[in-house]
Structure 1
Amino acid sequence: MLQQIYPSVAHDYSYELNKDFQFAAAHYVPSEDAGKCRQMHGHTYYANVTVAGDELDRSGFLVNFAIIKRLIHDRFDHSLLNDDTESFSDELPERFPTTEVVARTIAELVQSYLDGTANRPHVVQVFLRETPTSYCLYRPKRKAAVNDER
């Protein structure tokens, strides 16, 4: 994968980690308004996940790069995204496997893992390129801090 510069997201965390990876997947968008995208077709998606936080884990990582890739690549590579009914739906437009929804889903899957870690970093951006000329940025809204008494 060639080095690429991604739009950056402003945050006040001490550490920021970026992981690039790609996966090949097919999909279709089950909407009358989707035009040619209503037909099943495939892409080689290029993704960049940006994770930020203030604490490193016991290995000195914000999160291990390999875990981010494994969470997404192993799930979606060489698949029909529409078949992943835990992530996508043919009935609910907010869960159609569009580039926007796939980017949001990547953020949700990675964040779900991160929420179970001791240092609890945050996904702050997902960049997802679907074609050489089309991409999407997804930036999760930052949740209000919760006073966590442990």
Structure 2
Amino acid sequence: MQFTVRQRFFFDAAHTLEREIEVEGSRRIHGHTYYAEIAVSGPRHPDSGMVIDLGHLRLRLAALRERLDHHLLDEVPGLGTPTLENLCLFIARSLQDLQPPLSQVRVWRDSVGDGCALDL
């Protein structure tokens, strides 16, 4: 049997963006509350009954949140252009050593209804 375990976190961050539409507002520094969710899929371990220890996962996500929360995303090393797609990829790369590995990363902004999912 395969189970999927999910854990969410949020962060507040600012960024700028070069775009062809909504040019002026995107180029100015502005911020959002971002929500992120990671999923890990696999069988449950016969001894623990867990796919992954959620306490361990929460610690990893707290460390990742520290790298993003209340930062200017344009300046976060390894992120690149601060798009939803690049945030998904950044989170996936930051957690690439998890066992079992990630099966999905989602990032969204409730305030404007935007979201992105990276299926791994």
TM-score by length of 2: 0.78
**Does structure 1 residue 75 correspond to structure 2 residue 67?**
yes
Higher normalized contact order (CA 8 Å, seq sep 6+, divided by chain length):
2
Q: Partners of 2:27 and 2:40 in 1: how far apart?
A: 33
Specify the SS of the correspondent of 2:82. coil
Q: Partners of 1:58 and 1:83 in 2: how far apart?
A: 43
Q: Partners of 1:23 and 1:57 in 2: how far apart?
A: 35
Q: Partners of 1:135 and 1:32 in 2: how far apart?
A: 17
What is the CA-CA distance between 1:57 and the residue it aligns to?
9.7
Gap change, CA 1:32 and 1:67, over 3 Å in 2: same
**Corresponding residue of 1:130:** 109
Listed one character per residue, the Cα deviations across residues 110-129 of structure 1 (whole Å, up to 9, x for unaligned) are: 12x31xxxxx2111111111
Specify the SS of the correspondent of 1:106. helix
Is the CA contact (8 Å cut-off) linking 2:19 and 2:26 kept in structure 1? Answer: no
Q: Partners of 2:64 and 2:46 in 1: how far apart?
A: 21
Amino acid paired to 2:76:
D
Q: Partners of 1:20 and 1:83 in 2: how far apart?
A: 23
What is the CA-CA distance between 1:72 and the residue it aligns to?
2.0
Map of 1:38-49 to 2, 5 A cutoff?
A: 38-49=27-38
What is the CA-CA distance between 1:71 and the residue it aligns to?
3.4
**Does structure 1 residue 110 correspond to structure 2 residue 95?**
yes
Q: Partners of 2:118 and 2:109 in 1: how far apart?
A: 13
Q: Partners of 1:82 and 1:59 in 2: how far apart?
A: 41
Q: Which runs of 5+ in 1 are unaligned?
A: 1-12, 89-94, 115-119, 141-150
Q: Partners of 1:45 and 1:71 in 2: how far apart?
A: 16
Gap change, CA 1:60 and 1:22, over 3 Å in 2: same
| Matched residues, number | 114
